[in-house]
Amino acid sequence: MTVKLSFSEALADPAQLSVTWELVPGRGAREKAQEHLVKMAELAAKDPRINAITITDNPGGKSAIAAYAMAVEAKQRGIDPLVHFTSKDKNRNALESELYALGRADIQNLLVMTGDYPGAGYAGSAKPVFDFDAVHALRMITKMNAGDYSKLPATNFFAGAVVSPFKSTEAETMAQYYKLHKKLDNGAKFIITQLGYDARKFDELRKYVDSNRLAVALVGNIFVLSLPVARLMNQNLIPGCVVTDSLVDKLAAEAAQSNKKELQLLRAAKLYAVLKGLKYDGVNIGGHGLGYTEVQYIMEKGEELSADWQEIAAAEFDHPQAGGFYFFEKDQATGLNTCQPAKRSQTGSSLKQSLMDVVHGVAFDPKAPLYPVNKAIAKFVDKSWLKQPFTLAEYTTKTVTNECRFCGDCAMHELGFICPMSQCPKQQRNGACGGSRDGWCEVYPGQQKCIYVKMYEGFKGQGKEERMKSKYMAPCNWDLHRTSSWLNYFNDRDYNSSKD
């Protein structure tokens, strides 16, 4: 008989495949979606195979009841909740307040994400916040757990993060994996994949983690896919979810059959079997209006099919993106991957980046020949009447060259001289979000390239792309807003002197 384990215990047990069930609360306080969640939580609590229910936080950027409120009710009914903890709608102080509330309710499991870009709300679209990215939030949680952040007692959160191996370009794929390193360095204990149906990509992530000796539990995402939702994902209308043309065609062929729902559930069960075969530590099962009997079927049928997982992977989950990049060479025998990294493309750095590198190396780098002189000048200007005109001159210059937003805590030289405050709608300082598609920004597809795609290509041209996985970028200090970042840098006030 299976003993019911908590979410963290199940992930740590090599003999058990952890199962979490994703439930989506809707708008309102006592509407159908909320009552469905509570009822399903009661059923999940009685099933020893289900270790937690995951509760989303305003998916798609649309308003819904707070995940925290529903997590409290789920815990009262005896099931471990896993709360989606996103930074899109709250600044750092609001995030800290929410953590205290979660801790008081003894809710420890957090899936830390930047979150979807905010959409329509009361009287128009909501203002995006993005004060923190996922790496910042993980770092704060880790410090709270260690008792290093304040004089308060240490917390006991079990925090994880998200990665998408389902990217079509080399630059996007590497940006995801480099940010994965940062998430793990800053305390993520488990990783849940975003949505995709390519077994070779699931295998790629497993092999990447193993080959880099990364100590983290991997959870594969299983979504019961219907044709209407598949078409939305295929058209990139649900960020971070990848459904290729070949899979849409397959679902369209099934749509005329009387047992189409059974076929959708069977596909989910087959993916369960594949993920178990690939040695994932857990699965996260979701789907629109998914009920307990359907989750039960996926678990039971998935276990039944698990011995044949390799054949299933080749037959059912061979849905590559056209011209898509894979980190490893293909294993022709299995259709999955070898352990041999694939050859990568060659790129060159831009003229603008090269020129700015020269300027930084001469004037701003602590080892630069002009650094001592510039530091002395900056200290003088900082205390004189020249401070205001100097600040205006810097802002004007950087607005023309880099679309400066006057944050006063400039990190452009760390990011290929691309300003994340003006050129990334989510203002990401530690790596790409998961919403890009084919190199395009989630918010402006077809109009604006993801800045981390441009950054990777520029750094790679200089042989410096590995820095994208190692350099932690502290959040902006808003005390410095509308001040001179050059004066702040030379007077030891910016992120370079931060205690974070």
What DSSP line would sit under 402-446, residue for residue? H-----SS--GGGTTT--HHHH-TT--SSS--S--BTTB-SSSTT
- Tokens found for residue 61: 């950027």
Q: What is the dihedral of CA 136, 138, 140, 146, to 10 degrees?
A: -150
Statement: residue 1 has pLDDT above 70: no
Q: What is the dihedral of CA 114, 120, 123, 124, to 10 degrees?
A: 90
Q: Give the separation between CA 113 and CA 469, rounded to whole angstroms.
A: 17
Please state whether beta strands 120-121 and 124-125 pair in parallel, antiparallel, or not at all (unpaired). antiparallel
- pLDDT at residue number 155: 96
Q: For the chain, what percent of residues have pLDDT higher than 90?
A: 86
Q: Give the separation between CA 482 and CA 408, rounded to whole angstroms.
A: 6
List, in order, residues 6 or more apart from 268 with CB less than 8 Å away.
222, 223, 224, 225, 285, 287, 298, 302
User: One-letter amino acid identity for 414?
Assistant: E
240 phi, psi to nearest 5 deg: 85, 0
Statement: residue 444 has pLDDT above 80: yes
Q: Give the separation between CA 419 and CA 9, rounded to whole angstroms.
A: 42
**For range 151-172, the mean pLDDT:** 96
**For the segment 103-139, what is each residue's pLDDT rounded down to a tens digit?**
999 999 999 999 999 988 889 999 999 999 999 999 9
CB atoms within 10 A of CB 472: 15
In the chain, the domains with their CATH numbers are 7-341 (3.20.20.220), 351-430+472-497 (no CATH)
- Tokens found for residue 467: 């820095």
112 phi, psi to nearest 5 deg: -90, 125
- Tokens found for residue 378: 């900056």
**For the segment 467-486, what is each residue's pLDDT rounded down to a tens digit?**
999 889 999 999 999 999 99
Nearest to residue 87, comparing CAs of 78, 98, 79?
98
Q: Give the separation between CA 224 and CA 243, rounded to whole angstroms.
A: 12
- pLDDT at residue number 156: 97
List, in order, residues 6 or more apart from 406 with CB less than 8 Å away.
395, 481, 482
**For range 80-108, the mean pLDDT:** 96
H or E element at residue 11: helix 7-12
- Please say whether the beta carbons of 163 and 111 come within 8 A: no
Nearest to residue 266, comparing CAs of 274, 289, 318?
274
**For the segment 214-245, what is each residue's pLDDT rounded down to a tens digit?**
999 999 999 999 999 999 999 999 999 999 99
- Please say whether the beta carbons of 165 and 201 come within 8 A: yes
**For the segment 300-348, what is each residue's pLDDT rounded down to a tens digit?**
999 999 999 999 999 999 999 999 999 999 999 999 999 999 998 888 7
Q: Which residues pair with 223 in a beta bridge?
A: 286
Query: What's the helix, strand, coil split of the chain in %, to 5?
Result: 45, 10, 45
**For the segment 256-303, what is each residue's pLDDT rounded down to a tens digit?**
899 999 999 999 999 999 999 999 999 999 999 999 999 999 999 999
Q: Which residues pair with 222 in a beta bridge?
A: 285
DSSP state of 163: E
**For range 35-53, the mean pLDDT:** 96
H helices of 147-280, in order, are: 170-185, 199-211, 227-234, 245-254, 260-277
